[in-house]
Structure 1
Amino acid sequence: MNYKPFEEEKFKRINKKLNFQRWFYSIIGIITISIIILLTLGQIQDMKKENYEFAICLLLIVHSVFVIISILSTAIFCRITNAVLTTLTIILLCTYTGVHFYIRFSLCPNHPNEDFHLITVRLGFILTLLILLLPWTNIMVHEYQMNNLPDKEMINPRSTTFSWFLYLDFMLISSLLILSIRNQSDFGLYEILLLSIGIPLTLLWLYTGMFMTNSKTRHWVFSTIFYILSLIYIIHLSCITYGAISEYNMLSKINESTLFPLLILIFICSGTNMVIHTLTVIISFILIGI
């Protein structure tokens, strides 16, 4: 007896169910993130131009866009690499929001709290995103991989590990670039120059790193550019960390706490970035073998 028609019919039913799940997953993710972005835009609209919360709000909007892109890529391709990147972006967004909430309303109780309800609602939606989509992402990709031929996607574990660190490092670098803006009224020539130079160099660093992960496009020129930019960024990162600590200590002496949430977030982000960036460079030596 030929069981092939029954197996093909079963395969079609499973694929149909998985396709529905992928679209439903992406719709839920986009709706949740859209609400988070709208709440953040509402907070920006209500704040004064001198408010240092502007940089943090801008940071959350940019990382929300990163989450949308990663959710869509996971729903479309259903690859393990996409699932890991989606997990990283969601965790990073939740970390930023949770740390900001704790700093604002626990470490800095004297800070104005007129936007407490809005920030709390936003935190609730982000926690919902974390609890709902994080396990769903991994379950959905696992089901897809189990019901499709596993040899369609040949994964190089060394290059894949390096690419995960590379993208996480890129998101942290982008975070520090955004936090350098601070507020709307202080956005001047220095911030314009920093973003004009920082964004192209960051993208150049990312793309040279991506070329290094592929053995077909790997070249000593890309490696040289990658390591030079990595060294320059480590120096820049040290300056940012030192500047944030110095400014925090100076403001503590005059009992001025307006900048505290932003400075603490910069310090945490730069410290984490220093660890991840160093690991990315080390892993590029060990795993890529250049």
Structure 2
Amino acid sequence: MKTDRIILVSITLATLFLTGCIKEALLLDKLRGEWEIDKGECLVTTNADVTFLDFYYKPWTGTVTVNGVEQDCSDNHMSTYMNPTFRLTPEIYLLFSGSPAKLAYKYKIYESSINWNIIKTGIINTEFTFTTTDNNIVNIKIDLKAPMTTLKKGVEYPIRDNRWSQDQAVNNLKFLSPTRISGDVALGDIRSSFTGTWSGNSSKITLKMKPEYSYDKIIQTHNYFCNSQELTLFKNIDYYKIESQGAIPLDKIATVKQVIRYKRKN
């Protein structure tokens, strides 16, 4: 009887092992190969209809002039990559590495009087006059207003350029075997190659990565969806990570979801 139990346990363990191997092989068949990041975004849903100042997703309305000449500011936008930055025109930026912000004009840095509290009002109405490094006098006038956006309860809304996307974003991902991966990952403004391992099931995948330019391992667990040409990784993140993204009241936020989409590299 004892021998029978041992045999039964052995068969059960072998079956579980083989089943696990089959599942791993099937999953690898879906994921095997190289994937390049296509798009990353943060999707927010609210628990009620909310109207708020949208600092990030849409361009601010208004004008920017240099010595009385209106500039093309149609693609102005806020960014929180590393430190908050406001791209006013292709040649004019506000850099919020400290307070007040620095003014970047034609790749040179000058002083400004704008601080983050002004940005949070959703209105910038100011001007600067300064002498450039080549002794030209420049006058810049900024008259911009943040757009208002209304979110409908339960409808996903994308937030542009938010901090989660810098949370060790994987730019390139190669599934080499049922356990091994390689690729490259963003470490701040550095792109580092990595090697590591992965594991997963029909709904979740875990990546364990050791970047070349870091002493620390990076471990990420995502939900995922995959077809022959597209891989999507997604997970819920904490509300606090989007506090600087605009004036969405935190008590009205229901979910915040990080979504990263990849395309298969041929």
- Provide the TM-score with structure 2 as the length reference: 0.24
> Which has the greater radius of gyration?
2
- Provide the TM-score with structure 1 as the length reference: 0.22
